Structure 1
Amino acid sequence: MTSPRAGLDTSPRDTILDAAARAFMERGFKATSIDDIARRLGATKGMVYHYFDSKTDLFFEIHQRGMDALFEAIEPELKRDLPAAQRLHAMARRHVATLIETQHFQRAVAEGVQMHLRLSTTEAQRRQLTRLQNRRRRYEQVFLEVLCEGIRQGDLRAGEPRLAIKPVLGALNSVINWYHERYDTGPGALDALIEEVTTVALQGLVAR
């Protein structure tokens, strides 16, 4: 799978996706036109249409790339031979770091999902959105399974794990709404921010 940032200097398709994600983040999906994306690229909208049939197609691929990046980020941590609580913390750290790295992709997804749930009218759009939503559920399920393992090991707690994992991921995901480069004030600042967000989000799961 390809990270959203991979190949942006060489692949026209990836360059278009990057520009579209930034435009959606800044202006909102509804307010952004193909012309806006083309102007951001310094190109014609014909170039955009050469690779994508519509703004909706752009959104769906941005969503796919954003999810690809998250799955890729947590996979190495998921496979480590560590207690579940430590793996969950490491996965959450990588999740937050990837959200920051691909913030424009993730913001575009967050802003666009609810709109497409309401407005996707063609059968093909509904099928695509259903596939993407199912993939997001599978991602949540990965975290849930590690949480349940940690509960069995006695290091984590949750009365209703399926419910508990949702506000935990919600707290982690909030970083896409407020993170700004001004927080990265010097060596180690970004790592400290990621650790703080992770620790606060997970602290309610730690067995006392």
Structure 2
Amino acid sequence: MTDIDLTASPRDTILDAAARCFMDRGFNATSIDDIASRLGATKGMVYHYFSSKADLFFEIHQIGMDALFKAVEPLSEGTDDAVSKLRAMSAAHVHSLIQTQHYQRAVAEGVQMHLRISTTRAQRAQLTRLQNRRRRYEQMFLEVLEQGIGEGKLRAEQPRIAIKPLFGALNSVINWYQPRRESGPGARDEVVEEVVRVALAGVVVPGKG
């Protein structure tokens, strides 16, 4: 089984296959041959669109971040109180993580790998741009947390530190979520709701959310 979407463009099909290989085998252990094998194609097809495995990783990272911004950014601009806004943003974040799980797992593993090993100057510049984009994404949540602290509905002694474990709890879903465990309509929503409830428990003032 190749997981190929026959309606997708060749470029998108390669990216999806690469993300699934990275998720299954790890970035470092995956070769272009592995990706081609998953596609049922030759590695020449992969190289026709991407010059290296690193190029695939950077575009996969971009796609993963695009999905998160698309889901969450409109909610961050709303006029709801901070608790409602943070809860909605967190739920959208987790839903997006689940929907693009193979992309997000590849990103999480690949970023750490790139931080540990030597890369080319161009790759380091690309990684820096992607890391800056991740910081901008995190900043949206931090601003809502600080808004909620001002409203007396959220709490954190040091918001810039508190936002890290909050994201850690939300992001954990990419490591353990398995669609086959869903049972009946609404099962995924229940998973998201519970993850968000646990993640926000430490920052919501009791009785305020």
TM (norm. structure 1) is 0.94
Q: Which amino acid aligns with 1:88?
A: L
Corresponding residue for 1:200? Answer: 198
2:41 corresponds in structure 1 to 43
Map of 1:188 onto structure 2: 186
Letter matched to residue 40 of structure 1? R
Are residues 128 and 38 of structure 1, via their aligned partners in 2, closer, same or farther at CA, if it must alter by over 3 Å? same
- Indicate the residue corresponding to 1:103 in structure 2: 101
Q: Which residue does 1:9 correspond to in 2?
A: 7
Is there any run of 5+ residues in structure 1 with no aligned partner, and where? 1-6
Other-structure match for 1:145: 143
Correspondent of 1:128 among 111, 126, 129: 126
Pick from 59, 80, 83: which aligns with 2:78? Answer: 80
Q: Distance in 1 between matches of 2:8 and 2:171?
A: 30
- The alpha carbon displacement at 1:80 in A equals 2.2
Q: Give unpaired runs (5+ residues) of structure 2.
A: none
Q: What is the alpha-carbon distance in structure 2 between the residues aligned to residue 84 and residue 51 of structure 1?
A: 44
Query: CA shift at 1:31, angstroms?
Result: 1.0
Q: Shift of the alpha carbon at 1:76?
A: 2.2
Q: How far apart, CA to CA, are the structure 2 residues paired with 1:39 and 1:171?
A: 35
Residue by residue, what CA displacement relative to the aligned partner does 1:184-208 show, whole Å, maximum 9, x if unpaired?
1111111011000001000111113
More displaced stretch, 111-120 vs 148-157? 111-120
Structure 1: how far apart are the matches of 2:116 and 2:172? 23
- Give the distance between the partners of 1:73 and 1:85, measured in 2 at CA: 18
Structure 1 runs of 4+ with >6 Å offset: none
Provide the C-alpha distance between the structure 2 equivalents of 1:8 and 1:128, rounded to a whole number of angstroms: 30
Q: Distance in 2 between matches of 1:9 and 1:107?
A: 24
Q: Structure 2 length as normaliser, TM-score? A: 0.94
Spell out, residue by residue over 1:1-37, the C-alpha distance to the aligned partner (whole angstroms, 9 max, x if none). xxxxxx9723111110000000000011111111110
Matched position secondary structure for 1:205? coil
Q: Distance in 2 between matches of 1:186 and 1:117?
A: 41
Residue of structure 2 aligned with 1:173, choices 167, 171, 174: 171
Aligned length, in residue pairs:
202
Amino acid at match of 1:51: Y
Whole-angstrom distance in 1 between the partners of 2:77 and 2:140: 12
Share of identical aligned residues, percent? 71
Cα separation, 1, equivalents of 2:75 and 2:137: 14
- RMSD over aligned Cα atoms: 1.2
Q: CA 1:205–1:131 in 2, change beyond 3 Å: closer, same or farther?
A: same
Q: Secondary structure at the match of 2:65?
A: helix
Corresponding residue of 1:3: none
Opposite residue 18 of structure 2, the aligned amino acid is: A
Aligned residue identity for 1:84: A
State the partner residue of 2:158: 160
